[in-house]
A and B are shown apart, each in its own frame.
Chain A
Amino acid sequence: MPLVRLMRRPFFWILALAIAVFALAPVFGNNVALREALILDAVYITLASNLNLMLGYAGYINFGSIVFFGLGGYTCVWLVNSYHWPLGASLLVAGVCVSVLALIFGLGILRLRGAFFALATVGIVEAVQAFAENFTPWGGSSGIYLSGDIFTPLGGPARALWVIYFMMVAVMGLSLYLSYAIKSSKFGLGLLAIGQNEDAAAILGVPTPLYKALVYSASAFLPAIAGGLYFFKSAFIQPSDAFDLTLSTEALVVAMLGGQGTVAGVAIGAFLYEELRGYLLTSSMFANFQLFVSGALLLLIVLFFPGGLMGFIYRHFPRTQKVLE
Chain B
Amino acid sequence: MLGVLASIIDGVLVGLVYGLAAMGLTLIWGVMDVINLTHGTMIVAGMFGLYGLASAVGAPPYLALPPVLIGGFLAGVLLYWVAVHRMVGRPPLMSLLSTFSINLMLIGLGTSIWGTALFNVEVALPGFSLGRYTFPGAHILAAVLAALIAASLYLFLQRSRLGKAVRAVANNREAAELVGIPTTRVLAITVGCGVAIAGVAGMLIGTLFPFTILSGDSYQLKSFVVTALGGFGNPVGALFAGIALGVLEGAVTPFVPVSWTLVIEFALFVLVLVVFPGGIFAARRGAL
Q: List residues of chain A with CB under 8 Å of any chain B CB.
A: 59, 61, 63, 108-109, 111-116, 118-120, 122-124, 126-127, 130-131, 133-134, 249, 252, 256, 288-299, 302-303, 306
Residue numbers in A under 8 Å from B135 (CB-CB): none
The 8 closest A-B pairs by CB, nearest first: A295-B104, A291-B108, A292-B108, A123-B266, A295-B105, A288-B112, A298-B101, A299-B101
On whether A108 and B270 interact (CB within 8 A), knowing A126-B263, A299-B83, the answer reads: yes
Count of A-B residue pairs with CB < 8 Å = 110
Whether B101 and A296, one on each chain, are in contact in the complex, defined by CB atoms closer than 8 angstroms, is yes
CB-defined A-B contacts under 8 Å, sample of 24: A61-B97, A112-B273, A123-B269, A126-B217, A126-B218, A126-B262, A133-B259, A134-B259, A249-B104, A252-B97, A256-B97, A289-B108, A289-B112, A290-B108, A292-B105, A292-B108, A295-B106, A297-B101, A298-B97, A299-B98, A299-B101, A299-B102, A302-B94, A303-B86
Whether A59 and B93, one on each chain, are in contact in the complex, defined by CB atoms closer than 8 angstroms, is yes
Q: Chain A binding site: helix, strand, loop or mixed by DSSP?
A: helix
Whether B93 and A118, one on each chain, are in contact in the complex, defined by CB atoms closer than 8 angstroms, is yes
The residue from B98, B104, B111, B217 contacting A303, defined by CB atoms under 8 A apart: B98
Whether B260 and A130, one on each chain, are in contact in the complex, defined by CB atoms closer than 8 angstroms, is yes
Which chain A residue has the least Cβ–Cβ distance from B105? A295
The residue from B100, B111, B263 contacting A298, defined by CB atoms under 8 A apart: B100
Whether B104 and A291, one on each chain, are in contact in the complex, defined by CB atoms closer than 8 angstroms, is yes
Which chain A residue has the least Cβ–Cβ distance from B94? A302
A241-B101 Cα distance, complex, nearest whole Å: 22
Q: List residues of chain B with CB under 8 Å of any chain A CB.
A: 35, 82-83, 86, 91-94, 96-98, 100-109, 111-112, 217-218, 221, 224, 257, 259-260, 262-263, 266-267, 269-270, 273-274, 277
The residue from A112, A114, A130, A249 contacting B262, defined by CB atoms under 8 A apart: A130
Residue numbers in A under 8 Å from B100 (CB-CB): 63, 298
CB distance from A55 to the nearest CB of B (A): 9
Residue numbers in B under 8 Å from A303 (CB-CB): 83, 86, 98
The residue from A61, A63, A109, A302 contacting B270, defined by CB atoms under 8 A apart: A109
Residue numbers in A under 8 Å from B263 (CB-CB): 123, 126-127, 130-131
The residue from A115, A289, A295 contacting B35, defined by CB atoms under 8 A apart: A115
A120-B221 Cα distance, complex, nearest whole Å: 9
The interface centre, meaning the residue of B94, B97, B218, B263 with most chain A CB atoms within 10 A of its CB, is B97
A279-B281 Cα distance, complex, nearest whole Å: 51
A306-B269 Cα distance, complex, nearest whole Å: 30
Which chain A residue has the least Cβ–Cβ distance from B266? A123
A186-B266 Cα distance, complex, nearest whole Å: 35
The residue from B83, B112, B257, B269 contacting A292, defined by CB atoms under 8 A apart: B112
On whether A114 and B104 interact (CB within 8 A), knowing A119-B224, A123-B269, the answer reads: no
Residue numbers in A under 8 Å from B91 (CB-CB): 59
On whether A111 and B266 interact (CB within 8 A), knowing A61-B96, A123-B221, the answer reads: no
Residue numbers in B under 8 Å from A126 (CB-CB): 217-218, 221, 262-263, 266
The residue from A124, A127, A294, A302 contacting B97, defined by CB atoms under 8 A apart: A302
Whether A299 and B105, one on each chain, are in contact in the complex, defined by CB atoms closer than 8 angstroms, is yes
Residue numbers in B under 8 Å from A294 (CB-CB): 101, 104, 108
A133-B82 Cα distance, complex, nearest whole Å: 38
Whether B105 and A108, one on each chain, are in contact in the complex, defined by CB atoms closer than 8 angstroms, is no
Which chain B residue has the least Cβ–Cβ distance from A304? B86
CB distance from A298 to the nearest CB of B (A): 4
Residue numbers in A under 8 Å from B102 (CB-CB): 295, 299
A116-B96 Cα distance, complex, nearest whole Å: 11
A238-B104 Cα distance, complex, nearest whole Å: 23
CB distance from A162 to the nearest CB of B (A): 35
Whether B96 and A115, one on each chain, are in contact in the complex, defined by CB atoms closer than 8 angstroms, is yes
Residue numbers in A under 8 Å from B106 (CB-CB): 295
On whether A114 and B269 interact (CB within 8 A), knowing A122-B221, A130-B263, the answer reads: no
CB distance from B53 to the nearest CB of A (A): 25
Whether B274 and A111, one on each chain, are in contact in the complex, defined by CB atoms closer than 8 angstroms, is yes
A174-B91 Cα distance, complex, nearest whole Å: 31
CB distance from A152 to the nearest CB of B (A): 37
CB distance from A114 to the nearest CB of B (A): 6
Which chain A residue has the least Cβ–Cβ distance from B106? A295
A69-B64 Cα distance, complex, nearest whole Å: 43
Residue numbers in B under 8 Å from A63 (CB-CB): 100
Residue numbers in A under 8 Å from B270 (CB-CB): 108-109, 112, 120, 123
On whether A296 and B93 interact (CB within 8 A), knowing A123-B269, A126-B266, the answer reads: no
The residue from B92, B97, B105, B217 contacting A296, defined by CB atoms under 8 A apart: B105
Residue numbers in A under 8 Å from B92 (CB-CB): 114-115
Whether A120 and B105, one on each chain, are in contact in the complex, defined by CB atoms closer than 8 angstroms, is no
A137-B97 Cα distance, complex, nearest whole Å: 37
Which chain A residue has the least Cβ–Cβ distance from B111? A291
Whether A302 and B262, one on each chain, are in contact in the complex, defined by CB atoms closer than 8 angstroms, is no
A296-B102 Cα distance, complex, nearest whole Å: 7
CB distance from B37 to the nearest CB of A (A): 9
Whether A291 and B35, one on each chain, are in contact in the complex, defined by CB atoms closer than 8 angstroms, is no
Whether B274 and A134, one on each chain, are in contact in the complex, defined by CB atoms closer than 8 angstroms, is no
Whether A114 and B93, one on each chain, are in contact in the complex, defined by CB atoms closer than 8 angstroms, is yes
Which chain A residue has the least Cβ–Cβ distance from B107? A291
A295-B98 Cα distance, complex, nearest whole Å: 9
Besides the known contacts A130-B260, A299-B101, A303-B98, 7 further A-B residue pairs in the complex with CB atoms under 8 A apart: A115-B92, A115-B93, A120-B273, A123-B221, A127-B266, A291-B107, A303-B86
A82-B111 Cα distance, complex, nearest whole Å: 37
Which chain B residue has the least Cβ–Cβ distance from A109? B270
Whether A127 and B274, one on each chain, are in contact in the complex, defined by CB atoms closer than 8 angstroms, is no
Whether A295 and B108, one on each chain, are in contact in the complex, defined by CB atoms closer than 8 angstroms, is yes
